[in-house]
Chains A and B, each alone.
Chain A
Amino acid sequence: MLVVVTLYPLLYVTFASFSDAGQLITHKGFLIKPLGFSIEAYKSVFNNPAILNGYKNTIFILFFGVITNLVVTALGAYVLSRKNVMWNRVFIFVVVLTMFFSGGLIPLYLVVKGVGLIDSLWATILPFAVNTFNLIIMRTAFMAVPESLEESAKMDGANHFVILFRIIIPLSMPVIAVMILYYAVEKWNGWFYASIFLKDRDLYPLQLTLREILIANNTDSMSSGANAAEQFQIGETIKYATIMVASVPILILYPFVQKYFVKGVMIGAVKG
């Protein structure tokens, strides 16, 4: 029952996206299979320059964003996982405090504006380089790596960078995979900060383009050439097709990391 409730809305969207526009409008009630079969909606979605541009921007943000996230988070987690570092108590305090208190939305906006990131795709990357919660999960995982391995590496003259990238990270792959998933989902689905930091429509990531289509209900640009009634009909299926186009990639990512997943989350759960 629960499975049905969870799954059905998603199936409905799938069916509707492949349906024939005219039939879908007049149909009442549930769909158990597509009404007719049409890929018209997908054609118009993929021919839409705004969507393609959105895809391009999102992929940029995803690629550079996740790399930045991983590097900075891993550096922080590594340092904080070391023992006998005098300033670590201070560092941990500095980091953890931000989980409980923040300056708020407006001051953040002013800072981003102050460092000149407004209307740059980096505005959706740099201010969110580290998620403190993820940092702590990663630190816990790094602390679990046996110390003897590092000792022997140190004997061989390895410095901290070598230890981190050659020993700690390869041994912590489950948690790294989970971090990639967390950060990738965050980047792929993020829209709010993009909407306040990016004014130039050419920089809109996919989700903002979607917002115009789904929330502001504006599908006209995609069904141009059709008359008003047809436009309205196609608009419905286009909405569902865009949902599919925007959600399927991230849902596909999930099964790949699933095997690491429960393991990684459990590491985090130990420390909460």
Chain B
Amino acid sequence: MRKAGETTFQIRFKRDFLLNKYLYLMMVPVLAYYFVFHYAPMYGALIAFKEYTPNKGILGSSWVGFQHFNDFFSSYYFWRILKNTVIISLYSLCFEFPAPIILAILINELTNKRFQRFVQTVTYMPYFISLIVIAGMIKDFTNNGGLINNFLTYFGFNDTAMLQKPELFRTIYILSEIWQKIGWESIIYLAALMGIDQEQYEAAKMDGANRIKQIWHITLPGILPTIAIMFILRMGNLLNVGFEKIILLYNPSTYDTADVISSFVYRKGLIEFGWSYSSAVGLFNSVINLALLIAANKISKRISENSLW
């Protein structure tokens, strides 16, 4: 019986190969890419458990077990970067996540189609500007005598170099993030909004529902599945704070509030060459993210029946 099973498998295997050999040929570069640039680094993450030195290579370096993890957990930096990462993530969850939803609903409520298009085009625009330019603008505008400072002095604030102030870093980070991404991220919600059955609004109007009530009872439930999916994806990236912007904006005087896990990995690994230690920190980050993603997916499945898998 078992033998027969194997042979049918072999037959199936051969037939499939004959039929699809060109497809498999096409897949070769794609798989090669994934193995070299995704799976090889995953294997390379083993150095987190070793004392890696470039001349010994990954295999030749000696095992140290969880030593790097222990060093990290007991170091002074651990709590600082964990706290910063979590706080920045939570801020962005509270302020950045709902912003595009609100924008999409507002755009949807506009009655003038031309104006609707104009608002959309303008709000997407910042997304295409590079991070370097954005960071340059932020630096310039928040500096002494910069645009934002000038604006705030009208309201009696002091003219200060804001990026030197640890207490302002997160605010600057989140606000500029919203400014850049709100239009872009609203696209997906707008697409969902277009899918809502217009008859529902007609019916609601008949029943005397005002606009606020329509939004609450029709619009929001209509885009809830999209919101749920976006929320799960977001949870999976909770600890992946956009470190590219952070390393452009922070400086030693704001490390206290600005340094996050990924910027720490970057600094320790690529500037101070602590390969193994830094990989351990990175691996810790990846594992937590994966766990959060799975958790968010489970919760969402239970509450709203929306899930990624």
Contacts and interface: CB of A to CB of B under 8 A. Distances in A.
Contact of B44 (A85, A100, A107): A107
A9 B122 contact: no
B19 to A, nearest CB: 8
A106 B285 contact: no
A105 B20 CA distance: 36
Consensus secondary structure, chain B interface: helix
Interface residues of B, number: 83
Nearest to B274: A106
Interface residues on A, range: 35 or more
A247 B145 contact: no
Contacts of B190: 262
A28 B148 CA distance: 11
Interface string A61-91: 0000000000010011011001011110001
A36 to B, nearest CB: 18
A185 B126 CA distance: 12
Given A3-B119, A191-B130, A251-B128, A9 B33 contact: no
A210 B133 CA distance: 8
B293 interface: yes
Interface in B22-66: 22-24, 26-27, 29-31, 33-34, 36-45, 47, 58
A103 B26 contact: no
Interface in A233-272: 239, 243, 246-247, 250-251, 254, 258, 262, 265-266, 269, 272
Given A98-B34, A104-B265, A105-B269, A9 B42 contact: no
B270 interface: yes
Interface of A is mostly: helix
A258 B278 CA distance: 42
B270 A106 contact: yes
A85 B278 contact: no
A104 B283 contact: yes
B27 A189 contact: no
A32 interface: no
A211 interface: yes
Interface stretch (B79-87, B134-142, B197-205): B134-142
Contacts of A94: 31, 34, 39
B224 interface: no
A85 B37 CA distance: 25
A121 B85 CA distance: 32
B258 interface: no
B123 interface: yes
Contact of A107 (B34, B42, B179, B191): B42
Given A102-B42, A126-B33, 13 more contacts: A79-B23, A84-B20, A91-B31, A98-B38, A103-B41, A105-B278, A106-B282, A107-B47, A191-B132, A207-B130, A213-B136, A214-B133, A265-B188
